[in-house]
Amino acid sequence: MGSIKTGTDVVVIGAGPGGYVAAQRASQLGLDVTLIEREELGGTCLNHGCIPSKALISVGDLLYKVNNAAERGLVVKGSVEVDFAKTQEWKETKVIKRLTSGVASLMKAGQVEVVKGTARFTDPHSLEVELNDGGTAAYTFKHAIIATGSTAVNPSFFPLDGENVVDARGALAFREIPPRFVVVGGGYIGVELGIAYAKLGSKVTIVEATGQLLPGTDPDLVNVLMRRLRRLGVTVMLNARASGGLQNGKVKVQDGEGKVHEIEADKVLVSVGRVPYTEGLHLDKAGVRVDEKGFIPVDEQMRTNVPHIYAIGDVCSPVMLAHKASAQGRVAAEAIAGRPSAADWQTVPAVIFTDPEIAYVGLTEAQAREKGYDPVVSRYNFAAVGRALTMGESDGMVKLVGDRQSGLLLGAQMVGPEVSELIGEIALAIEMGAQMEDVALTPHYHPTLSEGILEAALSWMHSIEKAGRK
């Protein structure tokens, strides 16, 4: 048994975007903090998810734009070659390593003790850590924050082999661009990476078991995406199921009519969901309860059923978003410090980094109606936005949802260029209880993509005025 550290105020288990933010905030509030992580600081998001995927997406976007710029007078003589080893080196050293080093610096500046190892509870106020460099150490704590995240589902019908059949982590680490790439699962991870590799040169097939890519997303947004996928040469098979793994360079897919197709593939990404990760934590010894799906239930201050133990991020919520985990981490740290903090935000934005991008926040028309509002929806196409035309990115639209009676802004759904950057305006407006008129009367800089939001708000106001005159 290694050394025993007593008197620790807060132990944070997991150093992802929830855990390290919680540790930083707790240290800022004067608490003694120990952060335990078995892998790299930054967790899955920074090392094997959000950040590396966006790095590859940006490279694919750049290549696609260069190869399709003839209309704007940029003629490439010959072909643009991709040195994918160099791409991966850039991703690892110039992006991921720089960010993980930044997290390490934050922890050092905050005097957070970082322990590299695997934690498991031994009782409600103690845990043991199997250290990466050998041996174990025991810690006692006044409070604990569980931030262990989630892990990819490894389905029995299409098991991963870690080399040719992989999860997103494996797909982000390919050393070569696969000539033929099959994606099993049409959720946001599969579609994002499918598009990225299609732009890098792969022949991509996406197999989705339901009748729509990105299940649960507004069909108006997905329809715009589907048109772009066809132009990219991506094959989409809906109401289809893949099974049996990769056999002799082929994947068997059964379509909605029962016909079996054999799709040629060099690599397969299986992305059919993620589940909360609590394996080996021995939550039972701490008395922490989990629900039937494996999530840890929490209250608005992120407390579990054990009052001094908190949980944040993917491990406690099926809405698995890094920025939500970070916000929850701040709430948990402030609650531990006795601050009147709670997860009472009105809405959390979501972004899908496809081409074109998709972003949404707040209520859809149907959700607003279910909640008793009388929703009115306005749309404005990017084809009429000057900045979008100058960028050669005119596909897509802004949809705003407002309540007819109160004028309250209820939600937005967008698909188009850089909507990932636009959605924050609507999230802030909803959080502050803005009315549609507030958005419509706010001058937006010209020419910018944000004018799509302005015009949609003005259109909403006009529709209400017109209805009132009838």
Q: Which two tokens stand for residue 350?
A: 């979501």
Return d(Cα 244, Cα 258) in angstroms, integer.
16
Domain boundary among 254, 272, 290: 272
- Band (354; pLDDT cuts 50, 70, 90): very high
Q: Summarize pLDDT for 84-118 with one digit per residue, the tens.
A: 999 999 999 999 999 999 999 999 999 999 999 99
Residue 165 annotated as binding site = no
Q: What's the mean pLDDT in 344-370?
A: 96
Residue 321 annotated as binding site = yes
Return d(Cα 81, Cα 104) in angstroms, integer.
36
E strand intervals along 39-112: none
Contact between residue 329 and residue 25 where contact means Cβ atoms under 8 Å apart: yes
Whether residue 208 is found in the same domain as residue 303: no
Task: Say what the pTM is.
Answer: 0.95
**Residue 354, C-beta contacts closer than 8 angstroms, at least 6 positions apart:** 188, 191, 192, 195, 214, 225, 228
E strand intervals along 307-465: 309-311, 350-352, 357-362, 375-381, 397-403, 409-416
CATH number reported for the structural domain that contains residue 452 in this entry: 3.30.390.30
Whether residue 248 is found in the same domain as residue 289: no
Whether residue 115 is found in the same domain as residue 203: no
Residue 370 annotated as binding site = no
Q: What share of the chain is helix, strand, coil (3-state, %, to 5)?
A: 35, 25, 40
Whether residue 51 is found in the same domain as residue 138: yes
Between helix 97-109 and helix 19-28 the angle, nearest 10°, is 30
The residues annotated as belonging to the active site are 446
Least confident of 57-61, 79-83, 166-170, 213-217: 79-83
pLDDT of the residue at 459: 97
Whether residue 78 is found in the same domain as residue 184: no
Whether residue 183 is found in the same domain as residue 73: no
pLDDT of the residue at 6: 59
Q: Which two tokens stand for residue 235?
A: 């094959």
Whether residue 366 is found in the same domain as residue 288: no
Q: Report the first-to-last Cα separation within the chain, whole angstroms.
A: 80
Asked if residue 125 is part of any domain, the answer here is yes
Contact between residue 145 and residue 329 where contact means Cβ atoms under 8 Å apart: yes
Return d(Cα 378, Cα 373) in angstroms, integer.
15
CA angle 157, 161, 165 (to 5 degrees): 75
pLDDT of the residue at 458: 98
Which three-class secondary structure state does DSSP give residue 205? strand
Q: Kindly tell me the sign of the dihedral angle through the C-alpha atoms of 167, 171, 173, 174.
A: positive
Count CB-CB contacts under 10 A for residue 2. 15
Closest of 353, 286, 305 to residue 123, by C-alpha: 286
Asked if residue 198 is part of any domain, the answer here is yes
- 365-403 burial code (b ≥16 CB/10 A, e <16): beebeeeebebbbbebbbeebebbeeeebbbbbbbbbbb
Whether residue 382 is found in the same domain as residue 417: yes
Domain boundary among 272, 295, 313: 272
Q: What's the mean pLDDT in 313-342?
A: 96
Count CB-CB contacts under 10 A for residue 122. 15
Whether residue 279 is found in the same domain as residue 170: no
Q: Summarize pLDDT for 159-189 with one digit per residue, the tens.
A: 999 999 999 999 999 999 999 999 999 999 9
Residue 195 annotated as binding site = no
Whether residue 254 is found in the same domain as residue 396: no
Cα dist from 4 to 38, 68, 277, 397, whole Å = 19, 61, 26, 58
Asked if residue 344 is part of any domain, the answer here is no
pLDDT of the residue at 1: 44
CATH number reported for the structural domain that contains residue 79 in this entry: 3.50.50.60
Query: What is the average pLDDT value for the chain, to the nearest integer?
Result: 96
Domain boundary among 310, 336, 362: 336
Give the structural domain span for 362: 350-469
Closest of 162, 176, 353, 358 to residue 269, by C-alpha: 162
Asked if residue 158 is part of any domain, the answer here is no
Residue 329 annotated as binding site = no
Q: Summarize pLDDT for 128-139 with one digit per residue, the tens.
A: 999 999 989 999
Return d(Cα 407, Cα 401) in angstroms, integer.
10
Residue 304 annotated as binding site = no
Whether residue 297 is found in the same domain as residue 195: no
| Burial group, residue 66, by CB count within 10 angstroms (0-12, 13-18, 19+) | exposed
- Band (77; pLDDT cuts 50, 70, 90): confident
258/467: higher pLDDT: 258
Q: For the chain, what is the domain count?
A: 3
Residue 256 annotated as binding site = no
Residue 296 annotated as binding site = no
Asked if residue 135 is part of any domain, the answer here is yes
Whether residue 357 is found in the same domain as residue 449: yes
Residue 322 annotated as binding site = yes
Asked if residue 257 is part of any domain, the answer here is yes
Return d(Cα 174, Cα 167) in angstroms, integer.
11
pLDDT of the residue at 51: 97
330/3: higher pLDDT: 330
Q: State yes or no: pLDDT of 4 exceeds 60.
A: no
